[in-house]
A and B are shown apart, each in its own frame.
Chain A
Amino acid sequence: MSVTHDEVLKIARLAELDVSEEALPLLAEQMSRILEYVAQINAVPASEGVKPFVPGPDALRFRADEVKPIPLAFGPEALAPAFKDGFFLVPKLGAFEGADS
């Protein structure tokens, strides 16, 4: 596993981290060695049936990935000047951009 200088720079951008030109060669070399070392876990056959181990109280076990409404202390109607059938009422675009739209 060899990590190129460009890959280090790309990862550094994702991590919002400045990496100087001088630090690049050593960093790329060290990351390559570490990734080569940790990649040995791939020698163990794939075990798709294994459930992830999550320490801590049972209450923290992963919940189903479902999108549910977030309960608000006040309904949106209490916060908006105008609210109807689940929508915020706003001025029509035309009111700002002229009659031709």
Chain B
Amino acid sequence: MSDPSEALASAKATADRLVKAKRLNACLTPVGELRKALVTQAQAAHPSGVLYGMPVAVKDNICTLEFTTTCGSKILESYRSPYEATAVAKLKAAGALIAGKTNCDEFAMGSSTEHSAYGRTLHPFDKTRVPGGSSGGSAALVAAGAVPAALGSETGGSVRQPASLCGVVGIKPTYGRVSRWGLVAFGSSLDQIGVLGRSVHDAARVLSVISGRDPKDSTCEERDPLRLPNVPESLQGFVIGIPREYFPADLDPAVRRACDRAVRLCKELGAAVREVALPHTAYAVPTYYILAPAEASSNLARYDGARYGPRFDGSADVRALYRTTRGEGFGPEVRRRILLGTYVLSSGYYDAYYRKAQQMRALIAQDFRNAFDRGVDLLFTPTTPSPAFKAGEKLDDPVAMYLSDIFTVTANLAGLPAISLPIGRVKGLPLGGQFIGQAFLEDEMLEAAYALERVVPATEEA
């Protein structure tokens, strides 16, 4: 697209599609405001940009100038950032249209988008189920066809898990590939902005634009933007590792069948397939649920009614003000994680939990290095242990909810890139499989995903 009239038409059509998708409660931006903003952006966009006229929705924990950034929280209700995320600025410079802010679990803490102060997001194919989380609004909008791509964020799988549950593509880049400037911090050593798209190509195009160095973020590597690979004819020369720990005896048989079919297709495309061991996988979820809350308890200290957030109490005592504001402003999952994080960092428990988890993280990262050092290029695993679950099913059981991330958290702990793509249906619901790549080798990972996407019967029962 290079014609301003086409960009304007795209803006109006996007607004219409977002109105149709309203029943999902996936977009937090009011329709009138969104329509106006899309038209204004289309008029200002540069026709020479590689994403000219492409609407991209943005998760509500990524700062934008046009819209509020609430992080799905009451404590940031009506918060308008004075600056925008580098990823958003790069999208706009490439001619993309920011298509509103998407619903998410509060401060990206959750796996179902039920923990939003603005109500839960519905699964696009079955309103009684969840779209996954925490980037559930982004995944639902892409799956509903409202936008071709959306930004999400990952701390423990929050892009890939909803992508799997909604039947879209989700990419988590290598830690340091995309600037975190303007991404509201949750677990700073784990957080990365990721992309959800209706195809590998759509998601990869957006990733390519938002990647690359950023002097505003010291954790962003000094690298050029990702160059998109060509779609390969075959997977000849690729060695794909199948980690046995991701296929336990009690894995849902339909999930196993879908993965077996995808692996068979990779072989037919010419890839060599080899079983590998990642022996510390079983400890990844416990490790993650120590480290992430610990980092969150520190990062969320700023929401106290003085620095950020409304004041819920007129008390003269400043500490009472902090406590009331935070107690009233945060939802139950965020409160629980702040308390957990404070607990594992507190005197007497630090060594048993936080320090030990740091060591486990190193061992998990070493597992991956060992596999890659033995000649494996990529790993293939299920993205999630099941398709979309029923709303409310895991709300009262935090550990059951945390286990939704069992196959995704390892890539976050090891800082590796990973992509989830649809590989079939289980009882009519979408399911994703994921490739985990080597650090900064997203191009290889994307090649494999392109090739598999072309042949896998993604809408057929496994």
* Chain A interface (Cβ < 8 Å from any Cβ of B): 3, 7-8, 11-12, 14-20, 23, 27, 30-31, 33-35, 37-42, 44, 46-47, 50-57, 59-60
Contacts and interface: CB of A to CB of B under 8 A. Distances in A.
Contacts of A50: 359, 362-363
A9 to B, nearest CB: 10
Contacts of A8: 339
B421 interface: no
Contact of B301 (A16, A31, A38, A52): A16
Nearest to B412: A55
B362 A53 contact: yes
B-side interface size class:
35 or more
Nearest to B342: A15
Contacts of A37: 286, 289, 399, 402
> Which of A14, A53, A54 has its CB near the most chain B CB atoms (within 10 A)?
A53
B20 interface: no
Which secondary structure characterizes the binding site on chain B?
Answer: helix
Interface stretch (B63-71, B80-88, B132-140, B316-324): B316-324
Contacts of A3: 343
Contacts, number: 130
Given A50-B363, A56-B176, A16 B219 contact: no
Given A31-B336, A53-B366, A55-B175, 16 more contacts: A7-B343, A12-B323, A14-B342, A17-B330, A18-B328, A30-B336, A34-B289, A35-B340, A38-B286, A40-B283, A41-B283, A41-B287, A47-B363, A53-B414, A55-B414, A57-B220
A42 B356 CA distance: 7
Given A33-B399, A56-B415, A12 B339 contact: yes
Interface of B: 175-176, 189, 218-222, 280, 283, 286-287, 289-290, 297, 301, 304, 319, 322-324, 326-328, 330, 332, 335-336, 338-343, 346, 352-353, 356-366, 398-399, 402, 413-415
A40 B284 CA distance: 11
> Which of A15, A35, A57 has its CB near the most chain B CB atoms (within 10 A)?
A15
A52 B339 contact: no
Given A17-B327, A17-B338, A57-B219, A33 B360 contact: no
Contacts of B360: 41, 44
B332 to A, nearest CB: 8
Given A42-B356, A47-B363, A57-B222, A16 B319 contact: yes
30 contacts: A11-B339, A11-B343, A12-B323, A12-B339, A14-B342, A15-B339, A16-B326, A18-B323, A18-B327, A19-B335, A23-B332, A27-B336, A27-B339, A34-B399, A35-B340, A35-B353, A37-B289, A38-B286, A38-B357, A39-B352, A47-B363, A50-B359, A50-B362, A53-B358, A53-B364, A53-B366, A53-B414, A56-B219, A57-B176, A60-B218
Contacts of B286: 37-41
Nearest to B284: A41
Nearest to B322: A16
> Which of A31, A34, A38, A52 has its CB near the most chain B CB atoms (within 10 A)?
A38
Nearest to A10: B346
B68 to A, nearest CB: 24
Nearest to B337: A34
